[in-house]
Structure formats: C-alpha cells, structure tokens
A and B are shown apart, each in its own frame.
Chain A
Amino acid sequence: MELRRASSNFITYTVLVVWAIISLLPLYWVFTTALQLSEYHDETTGQVISYVESEPPKLYPMGIPKYFEEWGKARDAEAAGDVAQAEHYRERMDMIVEDTFSGFKTLFAGTNIWRWFFNSAYIAIVVTLGILLLDTMAGYVLAKKRFPGRNFIFWLIIATMMIPGQITLVPLFMMVGKLNLMNTHWALILPDLSMVFGVFLMRQYMLSIPTELIEAARIDGASEWKTFWKIVVPLAKPALATLGIFTFMSVWNSFLWPIIVLDNADLYTLPVGLKTLQDQNLAIFKLLMSGAAVAAVPMIIVFIAFQRYFIRGLTLGGVKE
C-alpha cells in the first residue's frame, strides 16, 4: 500500500514537473537567447561561431562555460608566468561578457525602448488609478444605494461585457479621428478607462460590506464623499488590489488597439515597439529576445509579488456565490 502510494506520487510529480518545464521553457528561452553568445572566436579551429543560431540549439547561455574556460586558461598562463598570454585570455573574458549583454546594449542604444517602456508604464499606471477610482465609486452606489434606474444601468453594463471588443474597433477608430486624438496617448487611455469589468467586480465585492457601517458614518454627519473615502474605500482594499493588478496587466499587454491608433515611434508602447522591431530585424533574434525580456520582466515581478491577488481575482469570477 505504501509502495503503491509512493509510486503514484512519483508519477504525479513527474507529469507535473514535465508539464511545468514545457510551460516555462518558452519564457526561459527568451532570456537564454537574449544572453546567448552571438560571436565567439574559437582559437583552436579559427572559426567564428554564433551560438544564437546553432544546431542543436544551446539550452543555456554559452558565455558562462566559455568565460570559465578562458578564466582557467588565464590562471594557468599566470601560473606559468606568461603575463602577455594571461592578458590575452583576460581580454577574451571581457569580450565574452560584452557579447553576452550586447543585445541589451544595442536595444538601449539603438532603439526607443526606454521611451516605449516609459509610455507603457505611465499609461498603465494612469489607467489603473483611474479605473480604481471610477469603478469603486460606480460599484459602490450600484451595490449600496437605491435610486431610479439602478438596475437598468447595471444590466446595461453587464450586457456589454459579453460583446466581443472587435466590434467597436472601426467606430472607435472613426471617433478617435473625429476627436482629433489619433496618434496620441488619449486614444489609448480613454477607451481603456471605459472598461466595465471593474464596475462588476467592485459591485459584487461591495455587496458583502455590511451596510450598517456605512449608515453609522452617515448618522454621524459625514458627507457622502467622506463616507466613501474614509469607510468604503478602506473596506474594499482586497478587491482594489485585485482590480488594480488585472487592469495593470491588461493595459501593459494590450496590443490590437495600440497598433491601430499609434503611428509614431516616440508614442509606441512596448508591445507595439516589439512588433516593429520584429518587422525590421527579422533575423536578429538576440535583439528581439532582449526586447521581449525587457517587456516580460515587469509582469513577472508583479506576478511574483502579488500572486495571491491574481488567484483571488480569478476565483472571484469563476466560483458562484
């Protein structure tokens, strides 16, 4: 019995670990390729090798073993008292380091990536803060206030959540043109601020806040705004965290709408910038993967730091009350 249990456990872990490797491999591949040696001068054969395009593919940055190889040679040369030779190997070590990071160097020196990074970051932050404020206000009154038209407004909002976003692409494009917002960040920010998922989420969460707390504040003579700001917002913190993270993620990763309205390299967001990089430098995978790494790292950090809010957000939508 113990043995059977152990073997079924072993199978479980094997399947899960293999699948986890499959799922993380592409992401790992981004970083490996970004840091891969693109030009290595092999002294024994006299050939110049690129490990970025090698067959079979190299599963880790080759700069690491090569660096230590040269380091060993330099140490041996020093031990033998051959200063010039040791110096030669040390130079090669520096070249390996330089080549390893050359993708990032080219990226930062030769493209607008800082600009794109900054654009993405500030747009995502502005939209996230705006959504948090507007959706909390809307969700709060939809859950806690009784007023004519409340149900109609709520169901109208829910109904539009089912409509695929592509249907509004053309009208939004025309509208943005008419409002003279083409090729501005407003064209991204305003439609993003109108997303309604958060209203739904905040309203669902507000329903669980005891109404007595809010009424008590009203009886104490607090104004509507003060009640909202001092009582409701603090109580809604967990939902705010979830909504904030999902909004940030969806704005940071959004792609289809930005490639339609942005036509100026200074205004690009990261995903749009990456696409133009791919269009221009079809062959330079090291550079492309460096760009991908720059775009991926912030989301990876956000995910690791706020994992539990991600999970809570997903389960809020899926499990019935």
Chain B
Amino acid sequence: MKASNGLLKEMWKQRAAYLFLLPKLILFVLFILIPVFWAFLIAFQEYGYSGSEWVGFKNFMTTFTSSTFHVALLNTLKYTVFTVPVTIFLALGLATLIYPLGKWSQSFFRGAFYLPTVTSMVIIAMVWRWVYNYRFGLFNYFLDFLGIPPQDWLNQSDTALWALIIMSVLIPPGVGVIMYLAAMGSIPETLYESAKIDGANAFQRWWRITVPLLKPTTLYLMMLSLIGSFQVFIQVILMTGGGPGDATETIVHLIYKTAFRDLEFGLASAQAVVLFIITLIFGVVQYRIMYRKGEE
C-alpha cells in the first residue's frame, strides 16, 4: 500500500516528463504497437464480406504449402545471397580506396556514391527499366562492346531476377562507404605504425588490422542490407510486376498482392509473420557467426 503510494507520488512529481512523452506515446501505441499485435491475430483469421472467422493455423499451412510462396521465398533468398555480400565487399573496397585520398577527393567520391541513394527507388527503378530495354537500352549497348548479344533482360524468366540483382549491385553502396570511412578514421594510427615496423606489407596491414577492426560496422551493415533485401519491393512492382510468370516474385510483393489485390488479409498477415520470423532468425544467426569468429 505504502509502496504503491510512493510510486504514485513519484509519478505525480514527474508528471511533466509523462506529458512530454505522451503525444509520441499515443501515436506509437496506436499506429505501431497495436498494429503489430493485431497482425498476429489477423494471421489466424479469415476475412470475408460477413466478417472475420478464426481458422487456427490454416493460413500458415496455406503459406507453407503454396508453391508461389516457395518461389517467392527462394527468389528473395537468391536476391539476398547475391546482393548483400557483394554490396558490402564493394563498400569496403571503395572505402579503402577513398580513405587515403585528400580531403577534396574524399568528399567528392563520398558524394558521388551517396547521391543516387538519396533519390527515390521509384526513380531508380524507372530508369533501370529503360536501361534494360531490349532495343534502346544502355545495358545491351554496353554489353555489345564486350561481344555479348542483346537480351530482353526483364521479360525472360531466366534473366529477370538476375537483372534485378545486377541492378542492385550496380547501385553504389553509398551508406556503406560512408560508414566504413567513418570507422576507418577511428582506428588509431599507431597500430599501423607498429605493424609497419614489424615488416607487414600494405595488404597484410589492411587484412590483419583494418578488416578485423571494422567488424562492428560490417555487422551493422549486414543487418541493414539483409533487412533491406528481404523487403525488396519497389524494383519488383515497377520493373517486372513479379513476372514473367513468377520469376521475380518476392515475399513483400507477394504480401502486397495477397492483401491488396486478392484481399486475403489473413493469408497476407501470415506471410508477413513468416517474413518477420525469417528476418529474426537470419539476424540472430548472423550475429552469432560474426561474434564466434571474432573470439577465436
């Protein structure tokens, strides 16, 4: 009794703090917290004109047995496996090249690699559709120099997904470059000097000192781009619509179609919950692997 009285008193004393927090908290509860919990409830229901009905795990069973979901999952994984490591490696490579340059060149290249990232993905996807155009596109034009015959990249089921992957890799890893540059700046110069005295060459210094010390940044970037590539959507809806067939169907595009074209809210929520769990598993596994390696 006394304890709760004391608590209330303390809360009353700090009422200003609660008032400062209140507006944000109301929005947060209303538009994030409740929807998240609601999503889990919807996943166990079926929606029709007459209202909703509990169906247990039916939506999950449908999700796991649907061949479209399998294809979407596989495509998303393929996209992730090929874009995430390459993007991060590119960011590291470019940052390594930029770091020793003068101040002016540094900020020029940083800007050049980051600028495309601030423009909307919608714009980038629209241009790339044009770049991949069979007859007039830049892509076939440049491939022609390499002696590669023109392809209708986005409209062939065996190249469409690759076209999206290539595009993602060629969009510069601006965020990664900037983060790596900042992290490189915080590595103490004395480490390199003593390694130099011990006779380590430039590559050894990079591989033995720079790369290991950048690991927190690498982990952070991997998490970011993993989450981003699991959610790949804009390129799909604007460039291929998931096609041809379902050659470029991805999970988020499938969720979007299931919910807002087919109006299967329960099924779409189940798919979203599965996506959430997959993201979580990947995140945890990646974290474990990175940290175990580091402790050896």
Known contacts A29-B138, A138-B24, A148 near B11 by CB under 8 Å: yes
Instruction: Check B116–A157 contact: CB distance below 8 A.
Output: no
**Interchain CA distance A140-B20 in the complex, whole Å:** 9
Instruction: Check A147–B10 contact: CB distance below 8 A.
Output: yes
Known contacts A29-B131, A169-B259, A255 near B114 by CB under 8 Å: no
**Interchain CA distance A30-B116 in the complex, whole Å:** 12
**Interchain CA distance A142-B14 in the complex, whole Å:** 12
Instruction: Check A23–B136 contact: CB distance below 8 A.
Output: no
Instruction: Check B94–A19 contact: CB distance below 8 A.
Output: yes
A positions within 8 Å CB-CB of B: 12-13, 15-16, 19-20, 22-27, 29-30, 33, 52-57, 134-135, 137-138, 140-142, 145-148, 150, 153, 156-157, 160, 162-175, 190-191, 193-194, 196, 199, 224, 228, 249, 252-253, 255-256, 260, 270-271, 274-275, 278, 285, 288-289, 292, 295-296, 299-300, 302-304, 307, 310-311, 314-315, 317-320
User: Does B290 reach chain A (CB closer than 8 Å)?
Assistant: no
Which residue in A148, A165, A168, A274 is a CB contact (below 8 Å) of B123? A274
Closest to B216 in A: A320
Instruction: Check A255–B259 contact: CB distance below 8 A.
Output: no
Closest to B122 in A: A271
Instruction: Check A299–B120 contact: CB distance below 8 A.
Output: yes
**Interchain CA distance A253-B121 in the complex, whole Å:** 7
Instruction: Check B255–A166 contact: CB distance below 8 A.
Output: yes
B residues 97-125 in Cβ contact with A at 8 Å:
97-98, 101, 105, 107, 109-116, 118-124
Residues of B with C-beta under 8 A to A315: 178-179, 182
User: Does B244 reach chain A (CB closer than 8 Å)?
Assistant: no
**Interchain CA distance A153-B22 in the complex, whole Å:** 11
Instruction: Check A57–B265 contact: CB distance below 8 A.
Output: no
Residues of B with C-beta under 8 A to A19: 94, 113, 172
Which residue in A20, A30, A196 is a CB contact (below 8 Å) of B32? A196
Instruction: Check B110–A311 contact: CB distance below 8 A.
Output: yes
Instruction: Check B275–A194 contact: CB distance below 8 A.
Output: no
**Interchain CA distance A52-B118 in the complex, whole Å:** 26
Instruction: Check B120–A271 contact: CB distance below 8 A.
Output: yes
**Interchain CA distance A37-B181 in the complex, whole Å:** 42
Instruction: Check B116–A164 contact: CB distance below 8 A.
Output: no
Closest to A146 in B: B14
Binds A, one of B74-82, B153-161, B193-201, B227-235: B227-235
Residues of A with C-beta under 8 A to B64: none
**Number of B positions contacting A (CB below 8 A):** 93
Instruction: Check A164–B115 contact: CB distance below 8 A.
Output: no
The 4 lowest CB-CB distance pairs between A and B, nearest first, are A23-B172, A147-B14, A168-B35, A171-B35
B62 to chain A, nearest CB (A): 15
**Interchain CA distance A318-B183 in the complex, whole Å:** 8
Instruction: Check A27–B115 contact: CB distance below 8 A.
Output: yes
B residues 32-63 in Cβ contact with A at 8 Å:
32-36, 38-39, 42
Which residue in A137, A156, A164, A171 is a CB contact (below 8 Å) of B23? A137
Known contacts A135-B24, A167-B275, A168-B32, A20 near B112 by CB under 8 Å: yes
Residues of A with C-beta under 8 A to B268: 169-170
Which residue in B25, B129, B186 is a CB contact (below 8 Å) of A319? B186
Closest to A29 in B: B127
Closest to A271 in B: B122
Known contacts A164-B227, A170-B259, A173-B259, A314 near B175 by CB under 8 Å: yes
**Interchain CA distance A256-B227 in the complex, whole Å:** 16
User: Does B238 reach chain A (CB closer than 8 Å)?
Assistant: yes
Instruction: Check A23–B116 contact: CB distance below 8 A.
Output: yes
User: Does B141 reach chain A (CB closer than 8 Å)?
Assistant: yes
Instruction: Check A153–B178 contact: CB distance below 8 A.
Output: no
